[in-house]
Amino acid sequence: SPEQFNVTSYDATAMAIITFEVFAGTWINAFIVSVIGMSWVKKKTLNSNEKILLLLGCSRFCFLCVSWVFSLISIIYPKYLYVHPIFQLLESAQGFFKCSDFWVSACLCVFYCIKIANFRNRFFNYLKVKIDRMVPWLLLGSVLFSLVTGTIIYNVINKALCKNLNFTCQGRIWKANVRIDQHFLPNFLIIGFGYATSFTAVIFSALLLLFSLWRHKRNMQTSCMKDLSMDAHIKAMKFILSFFIMYSINFIFLILALIYSMKNKNDVMVLIYLIQCSLPAFHSLILIFSNPNLEKRLLEILPCVNCKICLK
C-alpha cells in the first residue's frame, strides 16, 4: 500500500547513514573473518588469539546485518513488524549477537591479561599455562550464554505482545496497542546484565594488567635496556583501553536508550542507534591495526584497490 512508502526525508537520511555505517562495519569485520579463515585453511590450525578474533568478527558482522534489516523494516515497512514472529525474531537475533559481541570481547581482554601479566601466584600461573586449552570452552560458553539471552528476549517479547496485542480477522497481523516500556524494559535489563558481567571482566583485566605493569616498571627502574615485557604490557594496556572505551560508550547509550524509549523520543532513539551501529566498525578497525598480520594484509589490499580505481 502507499502508506508503506510514506518515508520522510529525515527517515531517508537516517537510513542512508545506517546503510553506510553497516556497509563499512560489515566490510571491516568480513576482512577480519576472511584473513583469519584463509590462515586457518593454510595452517590447518588457529592460535587462541585468532580463534577469538574470528568469532568476534562473525558476531559483529551478523549483528550489523540484522541491525540493517531491522532498520530497513522499521523505517520503510513498519507494518511488517506486526507480522508474527518477525519482531520477536529480529529483537532476539540482535540480543544474541550483541551479547556474543560483549562476551567474546571480554574473553579477548582476559586472554591478553593472563598471557602478558606477571604474578607470583599458583592459580594465575596455572591459568597462564592452561589458557590456550580454556579458550575454546570460554568461546563455547559465550555462545551458549548469548543463545540463552536471545531465547529469553524472544519469550519476553512474545508474552508481552500476546497479552497486549490482538489478532486481526486474518490471524496474522498485529494491532499495535502496547506501551514501549512493557516489552523493551525486560530487554534492556537482560542485555544490561550480560553487558555488566562482561564489562566487569574487562575492568578486572585492565586493573590486573595495570598493576602488573606498575610492578614490572618498578623492578626495571635500575635497568637501562629496552624491555620487551614492558612493551608488551603497554601494548596490551592500549588494547584493553579501547575495549574499556567501547564498553563505556555502549553503557552510556544503553541508559539513554532506556530513558528515551520510555518517553517515545523517536528522533533521539534514531541518533542513539546511529552511534551504536558505528561502534563495531571503529573498534574492529582498532583490532586490525593492533594485529600485525591483519594490518599487513590490509596495507597490501589498499594499494591494489587504489590501482584498480585509477585504471577505471
pLDDT in tens, 175-199: 333 444 445 566 667 777 777 788 8
Confidence band for 309, pLDDT divided at 50, 70 and 90: very low
Under 8 Å between Cβ of 65 and 30: no
Q: Which of 132-141, 159-168, 266-275 shows the lowest mean pLDDT across its residues?
A: 159-168
Confidence band for 30, pLDDT divided at 50, 70 and 90: very high
Q: What's the confidence (pLDDT) of residue 226?
A: 52
- What mean pLDDT do residues 258-263 have? 62
- What mean pLDDT do residues 65-84 have? 81
Percent of the chain with pLDDT strictly greater than 90:
15
Give the Cα separation of 227 and 178 in Å (integer): 61
Give the Cα separation of 285 and 126 in Å (integer): 33
- What mean pLDDT do residues 6-22 have? 78
- What mean pLDDT do residues 124-133 have? 87
The model's pTM is 0.82
Q: What's the confidence (pLDDT) of residue 184?
A: 57
In the predicted model, what is the mean pLDDT of the chain?
76
Q: Does the pLDDT of residue 307 top 60, yes or no?
A: no
Q: Does the pLDDT of residue 303 top 80, yes or no?
A: no
Residue 166 bridge partners (DSSP):
175
| Cα separation values, 43 from 40, 46, 120, Å | 5, 7, 35
Q: Does the pLDDT of residue 95 top 80, yes or no?
A: yes
Q: Give the 3-state DSSP-derived string for 296-312, with helices as H, strands as E and coil as C.
A: HHHHHHHHHHHHHHHHC
Confidence band for 129, pLDDT divided at 50, 70 and 90: confident
Q: What's the confidence (pLDDT) of residue 72?
A: 84
| Cα separation values, 200 from 33, 53, 110, 115, 264, Å | 27, 20, 11, 19, 31
Confidence band for 141, pLDDT divided at 50, 70 and 90: very high
Q: Does the pLDDT of residue 6 top 90, yes or no?
A: no
Backbone angles phi, psi at 308, to 5 degrees: -65, -40
- Helix intervals (H) in the chain: 9-43, 48-76, 86-116, 122-164, 180-219, 228-262, 266-290, 292-311
Instruction: Please count the CA atoms within 13 angstroms of the CA of 12 that sit on its side-chain side.
Output: 5
Domains plus CATH for the chain?
A: 9-164+179-223+230-301 (1.20.1070.10)
Query: Three cell numbers at 246?
Result: 567501547
